[in-house]
A and B are shown apart, each in its own frame.
Chain A
């Protein structure tokens, strides 16, 4: 039982957890600190003497020099199923909206240009007016009603479909991983990165290497009491153990993860914070505090500014858009985090001079039921929301808003655009590649102009 005398109030617990996590995760120990804390017995600090720094830089830069302006596609996933109606409010159908969402609905939605739609006010938060500001500056194209025919309302099925670009329950590679299989490099794992501890299913590839990286600091290896030539021998041997190519999936994953982790560490070594904690990739704009998505995007922007050959990246928002209960509070908090993080990211890219080669695609696995439930929330539904963002995104509202008076047989919003149409369009118009090689039956989905 959670009575206060048994359990020192919940907020304390969460504060402790956050503080502890932050202490450990945001200031990873440098080798010098490790020694100071008595973990190691060595005194010297390893300085990349065997693997020549110049060599590492050369190989990474070779790819970047070959294609210095190669476009980058960033996927931002809002987990849980983001509600369309309260995020992008149908002011042009306000009567029907109020009838449906009366108890839940927003009365202070901010009108969105001449589109007939309104914004959840939380989307106005952040640098230069947040996501709303970006829309007003012509840097966002919204895709209301996005989904697929006969939507499956399971988180896992729907997410799997969006991850793979295939409406099937078969195991499959991610659609970005598959794009890399056809267009990527055979030896640069950083070409496709997940800003997370595990690899995003979007990025899972068949043959080309990809990486999960949280920041250049977190990519390094060390062993207490081992330095200099000793450490070089250790890492060579680790590489040799990983150089075998076993066929069963478990052993293959162990060998390839170890091999690629070493490559990533080598490539990011020059960019880690120095032993005084000075971060060479510190952002030129102020990101929101205590915002996990913002932190991930800030590390990503820093890495995009380097010649690492990044082509596709995947970031997951920390919030939970599965608002079965208390949607008004939870959606507001989550959209605030998203708006503050995405507007800082865009400003960061612009300040670093990268904005013209980065396009961000924001999506969620489905929408929510038009009619709310009794817990001040909404159940899983169809017809969600997504958007493209960037200086070269086509601006405006790019798909039809579902009609609230024409719900389907399950009382769900109609689907007005298939997500695979958007994938095909992104592949052709932004990544300049053949969509048919990545998305089966690509020709059947049509195209929508997403790039200005």
Chain B
């Protein structure tokens, strides 16, 4: 139980992994001093945050997220690394996964991303309205040009199944809601897509029957109906909970969070605040049990080694790890959890760490740089300092120290290769602290 009195660096680190992208040693020290309540309040405070430090450049040029392949990914990754409001980026990522959209023009995706960020901790109904009117979403789920003559059910179905309810509705509700959602149109010209608009003449104004109620519903009515449906609050509360902790959500806590959400008028921030303060978030601090998503893995590693987004490789490396931002696999988003890790994606994570080891970078070990007379504990401690002083379990420490001994076991004290081995050993230690099984967890 983490009250103000027992608030430690381990608590800060856990909170910053779950609510952000890891805590640097400086952050861990600062927020252990601030205390639990003040730290959570700081994370939740409004505004989308400012970016610290110099803006990134790749191959000597500033990022061009609209035109260059992968720069949209780098642009967002940079925000995760440099934002002083990590929770806002983490929640933007949550909504990108929740309202997963893909296969749309980059400018539309970037505009959607800014909208999600601005609304990430605000009112859910306001967010849902913005998502429904969002051009990328309208095109992706065929809401644009769904007309009264032939309503397209795509958006109506995902609205209930994935966005707001999960269960508690029928096929008929979907069909009737699809009729109520008609009326949006896309403007097309020889210059391509020109935005969406509402055309009353394309809307089905007749009576519909949704969730047992009858009315001449339109799109705004449908959004109100789903938000006031009894399944909505438990659904969204459960999804937010499992974003922050793999612990099961017990009945009492669920009820408390649902009440809090409803009393606030369906606002996100009070629920997230309550989850971040819950003891379940701080269970078993020495044995993290939640799998990092690939972007959290990368952004966290960059922050811990003190490095910005300065190479374009992260875009395709993230793709290999199974999380291409702006291209979720489907409208259901990423499966997440243990499913992030297969033989292929864990090897991709191992390979990605290689890209932190280039010459001159903070992890580089020049030939001859490491004393060959370091004790195993000293060698491990040196490596640990280079990766942001992240603690590891006693078993991992012991395994790494045994490795240091084995590195020199076949060499006599005066063998000329001892220096070479000391350098290599330090590279391997740093690598395994970032790439080993324990580094996949937070």
Contacts and interface: CB of A to CB of B under 8 A. Distances in A.
Nearest to B175: A410
How many residues of B sit at the interface, in one of the four size bands? 35 or more
Interface stretch (B44-52, B64-72, B216-224, B255-263): B64-72
A224 interface: yes
Contacts of A219: 343-344, 347
Most chain A CB within 10 A, of B347, B431, B432, is at B347
B342 A10 contact: no
Contacts of A253: 291, 338-341
A254 B105 contact: no
Given A223-B431, A241-B438, A324 B154 contact: yes
A154 B194 CA distance: 31
Contact of B161 (A4, A156, A211, A237): A156
Contacts of A257: 341-343, 345-346, 437
B1 to A, nearest CB: 20
B377 interface: no
B343 A375 contact: no
A60 to B, nearest CB: 15
Interface stretch (B267-275, B301-309, B420-428): B420-428
B230 interface: no
B344 A212 contact: yes
Interface stretch (B17-25, B77-85, B141-149, B235-243): B141-149
Interface stretch (A122-130, A131-139, A191-199): A191-199
Given A230-B421, A230-B424, A374-B145, A4 B345 contact: no
A406 B357 CA distance: 65
Contacts of A194: 342, 344
Nearest to A235: B428
Nearest to A39: B358
Contact of B399 (A3, A20, A214, A241): A241
A212 B172 CA distance: 40
Given A237-B432, A257-B346, A249 B338 contact: yes
Contacts of A6: 66, 107
A54 interface: no
A225 B343 contact: no
Interface residues of A, number: 83
Contacts of A410: 171
Interface stretch (A260-268, A274-282, A436-444): A260-268
A211 B343 CA distance: 6
Contacts of B162: 156
B14 to A, nearest CB: 14
Contact of A2 (B107, B354, B427): B107
Nearest to B421: A230
Contacts of B316: 20-21, 24-25
A120 interface: no
A261 B343 contact: yes
A393 to B, nearest CB: 30
A38 interface: yes
A347 B85 CA distance: 56
A1 interface: yes
Given A198-B322, A238-B436, A379-B154, A224 B354 contact: yes
A254 B365 contact: no
Contacts of B407: 230, 233
Contacts of B145: 325, 374-375
Contacts of B250: none
A377 interface: yes
A33 interface: no
Interface string B95-107: 0000000010111
Interface in B159-176: 161-162, 171
Given A225-B423, A225-B424, A242-B437, A212 B343 contact: yes
A194 B343 CA distance: 10
A380 B174 CA distance: 12
Interface string B367-407: 10000000000000000000000000001100110110011
B414 interface: no
Contact of B357 (A17, A39, A325): A39
A83 B153 CA distance: 16
A220 to B, nearest CB: 8
B64 to A, nearest CB: 10
B66 A4 contact: no
Contacts of A64: none
A155 B330 contact: yes
A221 interface: yes
B356 to A, nearest CB: 10
A379 B410 CA distance: 68
Contacts of B357: 39-40, 223-225
B367 A153 contact: no
Contacts of A69: none
22 contacts: A7-B66, A7-B107, A10-B105, A197-B320, A197-B348, A198-B342, A223-B428, A225-B365, A225-B424, A233-B425, A233-B428, A234-B431, A250-B291, A253-B341, A254-B441, A255-B437, A261-B346, A374-B150, A375-B150, A375-B152, A379-B152, A379-B153
Top 8 nearest A-B pairs (CB, nearest first) are: A374-B150, A253-B338, A230-B424, A212-B342, A212-B344, A199-B342, A257-B341, A257-B346
